């Protein structure tokens, strides 16, 4: 069996929440936002889970209900690629690694399983979870050729006009071949509009090696919706409540 790991990015402060608490420990129905993500990762088969923490990390570690996760500290925020690099020591061995966000409580084990199955079926080295949305403003875009084949993922700030026309967005969630992820992280540079280490650049690095990078598009963006402010927290709580009723 392939070994599946998960890295969950949970270092952000979440200034728009207008709260002293780190964003990922805000609660819905008694559970921290990040607990929902850990549940989804475990449900998809992830045995080892590592949280990249930063802002008030001791609060995050105290609030989370899961005791069996590892933590690494990201002392400065230099982009998503840097956050994953911080967990470099966790990326040992063979198998696959999921990259997830601590502020997306709507992600489900079912969606992550579908991502994993698609990734394996297609023989991909990396697969990004994407979705079609009406308004893609601010999101990284998935760029495909005329036959629908994945070309690249480009950040909103770095995209040209043609690329901005894409309504398929990069959720920031991925499944990687662990060994290839390790190698690609070593090759990341900060040569971009933000001067940060972008995780999506690993897709191009992997593709340039002649390996398969791809995107798995969800019909519905609900599962990948992040929580950035109190209104989005309330909306996510409503969806989780409805889901619980449907499954009860």
The predicted pLDDT at position 248 comes to: 75
Whether 51 shows a pLDDT value over 60: the answer reads yes
Q: Each residue of 154-185: b (16+ CB within 10 Å) or e?
A: bbbeebeeebeebebbbbbbbbbbbbbbbebb
Whether 138 maps to a domain, the answer reads yes
Whether 87 maps to a domain, the answer reads yes
Q: Does residue 72 contact residue 159 with C-beta atoms inside 8 Å?
A: no
Catalytic site positions = 16
Which positions ≥6 away from 56 have C-beta within 8 Å?
13, 21, 22
Whether 223 maps to a domain, the answer reads yes
Whether 248 maps to a domain, the answer reads no
Whether 35 maps to a domain, the answer reads yes
Whether 82 maps to a domain, the answer reads yes
Whether 192 shows a pLDDT value over 90: the answer reads no
Range of the structural domain that residue 217 is part of:
4-242
Whether 247 maps to a domain, the answer reads no
Whether 142 maps to a domain, the answer reads yes
What are the pLDDT digits (tens) for 67-119? 899 999 999 989 999 999 999 999 999 999 999 999 999 999 999 999 999 99
- Give dist(CA 179, CA 62) in Å, integer: 32
What are the pLDDT digits (tens) for 138-163? 999 999 999 999 999 998 999 999 99
Q: How many domains does the chain have?
A: 1
Residue 135 is part of a domain; what is its CATH number? 3.90.550.10
């Amino acid at each position: 069996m392939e070994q599946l790991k998960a890295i969950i990015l949970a270092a952000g402060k979440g200034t728009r929440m207008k709260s002293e608490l780190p964003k990922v420990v805000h609660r819905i129905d008694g559970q921290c936002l990040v607990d929902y993500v850990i549940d989804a990762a475990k449900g998809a088969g992830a045995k080892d889970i590592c949280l990249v923490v930063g802002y008030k990390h001791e609060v995050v570690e105290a609030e989370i209900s899961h005791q069996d996760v590892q933590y690494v500290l990201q002392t400065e925020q230099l982009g998503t690629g840097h956050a994953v690099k911080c967990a470099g020591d966790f990326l040992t061995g063979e198998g696959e690694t999921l990259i997830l966000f601590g502020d997306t409580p709507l992600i489900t084990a079912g969606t992550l399983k579908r991502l994993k199955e698609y990734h394996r079926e297609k023989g991909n080295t990396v697969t990004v979870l994407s979705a079609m949305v009406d308004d893609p403003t601010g999101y990284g875009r998935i760029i495909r050729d005329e036959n629908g084949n994945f070309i690249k993922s480009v950040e909103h700030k770095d995209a040209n006009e043609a690329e901005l026309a894409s309504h398929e967005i990069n959720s920031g969630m991925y499944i990687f071949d662990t060994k290839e992820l390790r190698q690609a992280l070593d090759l990341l540079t900060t040569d971009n509009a933000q001067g940060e280490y972008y995780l999506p650049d690993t897709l191009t690095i992997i593709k340039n090696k002649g390996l398969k990078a791809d995107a798995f598009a969800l019909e519905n963006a609900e599962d990948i919706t992040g929580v950035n402010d109190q209104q989005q927290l309330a909306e996510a709580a409503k969806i989780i409540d409805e889901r619980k009723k449907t499954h009860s």
